Chain A
Amino acid sequence: MAASMLLSEEQQLLRESARGFCREQAPISLHRKLRDSRDPDGFDRDLWRRMVDLGWSGMAVPEEFGGYGFGHLGLGLVLQETGRTLVDSPLIATVLLGANAILELGSDRQKAEILPRVVAGELLLAFALDEGALHDPARIEATAFATENGYALNGAKTFVLDGHVADRIIVVARVNDGSNGAGALGLFLIDAAAPGLEITRTIMVDGRNSANLHLSNVQVSADRRLGESATSPADLDRMLDIARVGLAAEMLGSIEEVFERTLDYLRQREQFGVPIGAFQALQHRAAEMYSEIELSKSLLRAALAALDDPVSDHRRIAKLASAAKAKLSEVFFLVSNEGIQMHGGIGMTDEFDIGFFLKRARVAQQFLGDAGFHRDRYAALHSF
């Protein structure tokens, strides 16, 4: 029988407490402050400490590695709430991407060594995959040449989230060890201070941290290769799908927030002597957004449940992950645009918060594959 679409009491409590925390301790004003002050870290380390204390860094990490075993749904619920107030934090790069990559692709020794430190908030990670303007895991040109006791990495990486603040960076490269030619993928955990690694922070429209990396003969020992063996494209995809669903959860939170703010405005703002929300032209567009958001919620809930379901095969997870990322990208696009339009002139002002969601929407849409990328993948997964 299919998993329930409803949240358990424990999960509802988790969501409520995460919502309360974000509202009180990580409101959008904090995001504005970080942006305005051109904060060198791009996030508030003190806030991150409190998030770690709440267990958010170990939400989806199994207890044997120091985590709390709330599963991907648990982390998803937290991300949904951080999406509501656009919290800048290492939650995506360090936890959703970094810890998840180690959990899915690392050896037991690597998991035991790194995961407890991530959960404890001692280590920040970044994940360096893409190399061009678009998300494309099939196009990896960075190389790892086998050396006497490890590998030498060369190449360039783009849009690496938290790349300039991470302590360790996971770099995806094609391995050339002389035996099976170039082709096999390898994921390498390198030190941010490694010689030959050049990190350039890029300032993005959403204010989140991002960086370009240039690797020139960066030396890494063999035991820093995740799993200490080749990673298949399918394994990489499986790990990316978990991150895509988590990102979709954050997007849903942002979408809900924009929509609720917009509805409030429709009820309050008066023109022609009536609240503008009484006009049918706006009511119907709001009702259409509501419908799209309800569908998005269901898709996301199913995708999160599939991640935690031990019997779901990867093909099913892949389909749901691409469906969720495609749909959430479309709906975030729709709702962020309507949010601006329905707020009218005030929505265009920097002083008003709604614009932050529009900016975040486009970056989130691109991140880990836009709607077109995922519809294409969904079609391929359905053999057409």
Chain B
Amino acid sequence: MSGEFKQFRLETRDWLERNCPASMRAPMPPEEVVWGGRDAEFVNPDSKLWLERMAARGWTCPTWPAEFGGGGLNPAQAGILAEELARIDARPPLTSFGISMLGPVLLEYGTLEQKLEHLPKIVRGEIRWCQGYSEPGSGSDLASLNTRADLQDGYYLINGSKVWTSYADKADWIFCLVRTDFEAPKHQGISFVLFDMASEGVSTRPIKLISGSSPFCETFFDNVKAPAANIVGRLNDGWTIAKRLLQHERTMISGFGLAGGQAEGGGASETTLESIAMRYRGDKGRLSNPVLRDRIAQFKIDSEAFALTSRRSAEESTGGGPNHISSMLKYYGCELNKRRCELLLEAAGNRALGWEGEGFDEEELSLAREWLRSKANSIEGGTAEIQLNVIARRVLDLPDLTGILREKR
């Protein structure tokens, strides 16, 4: 390793040692995840301190250019920062769709004004974003969307509704797909627009899910005004940006698949699948159910292979952002996470099936909820079937049946 990187590692380690509060080096309970935003809540006051310190260095978005508030690090430095954060088990200071989805496409397609206006606020966690994609009639066939935006006096007047908008009730701004040309073929009349969720005419309604929680909302737009300058990229070319953003989203979601990748660390953690299975059976040294043992081994091997593949994909795409392998990672990562949750249910037996109340501890209660939540993994961000379509068409170059039939007609 070159001297420059060695120096960077030493300085980074030293800074983190001095600036990462002790409570930020412990596992993060879900209620302490920091999403930022105008109404940001900090259950743990150290979270606020940690966010402010990291944001001041731009390290909430380490590779974004410094002129937009980012850390301005090159990929090698960012890798070192990630390793040093992992070394002290530091929590992510900020989690947001601005970081994982909107920011990367603004950097690629936004105007200088748009970048200067939005990126620094994402870095500092001041504005929380949500994603206006799916509609009641447009799920897998996303491009059939009907929310309309009509230009009037320098504003777009937006009407329609979105669904499955994650945390729309808590978000400050939305990046939203709208139809701006109703005559053009469906992919060519869509635009990508940004607007404030506090605008007049926006309303949201949380949707209660089978897991009991409500991370998603219905979102309604009734004559909402968005300045014309808030279109990202070219008018009617929003589908290009929409697809690019989906690649970022899929890469993010594929991270669920890394949850089971404890194989590498391989410690005697109390929370590994096998240790849970053994604990509930009173087993020592060897899991007594040979069928479950075999399936857990198979799962762990696949998890390890998946984690290695994520790493290889990141190395192969250095600088180029996500590539078509992102669909494979999204598909496989989600299937892995669902497998993990199902195996956890089997591992803990009836103790994993409690819903609420005194009879179960917190970990046990979370097993059922997490299992139910995991069913959405292969639906959100493009279903498993859509990912397989993308792989077949874009990666494997297999023929397009709809295209062939259209030509024959």
Contacts and interface: CB of A to CB of B under 8 A. Distances in A.
Interface of A: 1-2, 4-6, 263, 266-267, 273-275, 277-280, 282-284, 286-288, 290-291, 294-299, 301-302, 319, 323, 326-327, 330, 372, 375-376, 378-380, 382-384
A384 B328 CA distance: 30
B298 A382 contact: no
20 contacts: A5-B312, A266-B398, A273-B408, A280-B392, A282-B398, A283-B389, A283-B398, A287-B328, A287-B388, A291-B332, A294-B309, A294-B325, A295-B305, A297-B309, A298-B309, A301-B308, A323-B301, A326-B297, A378-B301, A382-B300
B401 A379 contact: no
A277 B399 contact: yes
B302 A295 contact: yes
Nearest to B290: A376
Given A275-B399, A323-B263, A384-B277, 8 more contacts: A1-B1, A267-B398, A282-B398, A284-B388, A298-B312, A326-B297, A326-B301, A384-B286
Contacts of B328: 287, 290-291, 294
B266 interface: yes
Interface in B1-36: 1
Given A295-B305, A301-B312, A382-B266, A1 B398 contact: no
B395 interface: yes
Nearest to A273: B408
Contacts of A298: 305, 308-309, 311-312
Interface of B: 1, 83, 263, 266, 268, 274-275, 277-278, 285-287, 293-294, 296-298, 300-302, 304-306, 308-309, 311-312, 315-316, 325, 328, 331-332, 385, 387-389, 391-393, 395-401, 404-405, 408
Question: Per DSSP, are chain A's interface residues mostly helix, strand or loop, or mixed?
Answer: helix
A330 B298 CA distance: 10
A327 B400 contact: no
B361 to A, nearest CB: 22
Contact of B294 (A6, A273, A288, A376): A376
B185 to A, nearest CB: 21
Nearest to A302: B308
Given A294-B325, A295-B302, A375-B294, A278 B278 contact: no
B281 to A, nearest CB: 11
B399 A274 contact: yes
Contacts of A326: 297-298, 301
Given A4-B315, A327-B301, A384-B278, A267 B399 contact: yes
Contacts of B286: 380, 384
Given A1-B83, A295-B332, A372 B287 contact: no
A167 B275 CA distance: 50
Contacts of B263: 319, 323, 382
Nearest to A4: B315
A297 B313 CA distance: 12
Nearest to A323: B301
A283 B388 contact: yes
B404 A383 contact: no
Contact of A286 (B311, B385, B396): B396
Contacts of B296: 379, 384
A278 B399 contact: yes
B381 to A, nearest CB: 16
B383 to A, nearest CB: 11
